[in-house]
Amino acid sequence: MTQKLRWGIMGCAQIATGSVMPAIQESETGVIRAVASRGLAKSSSIAAEFGIEQAYGSYEELLADPEVDAVYIPLPNHLHCEWVIRAAGAGKHVLCEKPIALNSREAAEMVEACRKAGVHLAEAYMYRHHPRIAELQEIIASGGIGELRSIRGTFTYNDAEDTTNIRFKSAWGGGSLYDIGCYPLTAARLLFGAEPEAVTVQAMFSPEHDNVDMMASGLVEFPGGRGLIFDCGMWAYNRQLLEVLGTEGRIEVPMPFNARFDDAEFFVYGSGEPRRVEAFGANPYVQQADHFATAVFTGKPWIAAEDPVLNMRLIESCLESARRRERISMT
């Protein structure tokens, strides 16, 4: 593809400099035109490091640049809504870090603002762009494990000692459900191809960490008596796993949310010997950038425009269940 999407990077968070910016530069469809920070010294340093043409000392300057087609927003969660809406108002397409908002109301406002502005909005769940996900969907759709019955997803790590981490700021959208629980939750919506009916979640809210949920586990009910059993945590041993159970087999996916090249395999169990599937490896951040640009150029979104709203509705229902310690109906 010869056409290039000209990106502006709104903020210099580690996810931007460590993963997304290198991926855009590696992509077939993108080029980074500018980077902005709240101070020119920081953005100038990042621009020099990445060989970027323009650095700005404010986000407003970035949005005013007519040579920026799209912006990537890696700001803290509580700032997503404001800056996505402002970016849409400036006519910029938007890739916003997950979770896209603090709640479904904010997400709906963002989706509507982008719809009115005629710009593409996507939530940055990079794992969904890894080729392995399409292979999983194909096996499920073809009946490779029979009828889909249940999904189990886990994602935990331990960073509890870093009490200054923004992930531990309640008003900023901190907590394990926002940060990593969103991965198994969105994966279940994707693989079931359906919307949840109810949730029951138990969580550990830590006074040492501004009362955010440092660990959560729960059941998400889907139509047909199917369910997701999940846990997530920021104060537990590091692990990831996704298990998809059918009537005639199951799929076990190690490292389901961070896989790249050497760890793209997964395992299918059924009649006979377990089958190791050596899925095609890829950098999901590069895939994400190319899928985003293709959606902009063709006008055909990779995923439904309302998807971020549905994601946030599920996350906020899980938090409500954990706080109220009761089952929350979503129908």
Annotated active-site positions, please? Answer: 98
* Identity at 34, one-letter amino acid code: A
For the chain, what's the residue count? 331
CB 314 within 8 A of CB 220: yes
DSSP string, 101-129: -SSHHHHHHHHHHHHHHT--EEEE-GGGG
Beta bridge partners of 56: 36
Instruction: Determine the Cα–Cα distance for residues 85 and 73; give it in Å rounded to an integer.
Output: 11
Q: How many CB atoms lie within 10 A of CB 141?
A: 11
Amino acid type, 39:
G
d(CA 303, CA 94): 14
Tokens of 38: 């709240």
CB 194 within 8 A of CB 321: no
Of 13, 23, 17, nearest in space to 289 by CA? 23
φ/ψ region of 210 (left if φ > 0, alpha if ψ in -120 to 50, else beta) reads left
State how far the Cα of 260 lies from the Cα of 131, in Å rounded to an integer. Answer: 9
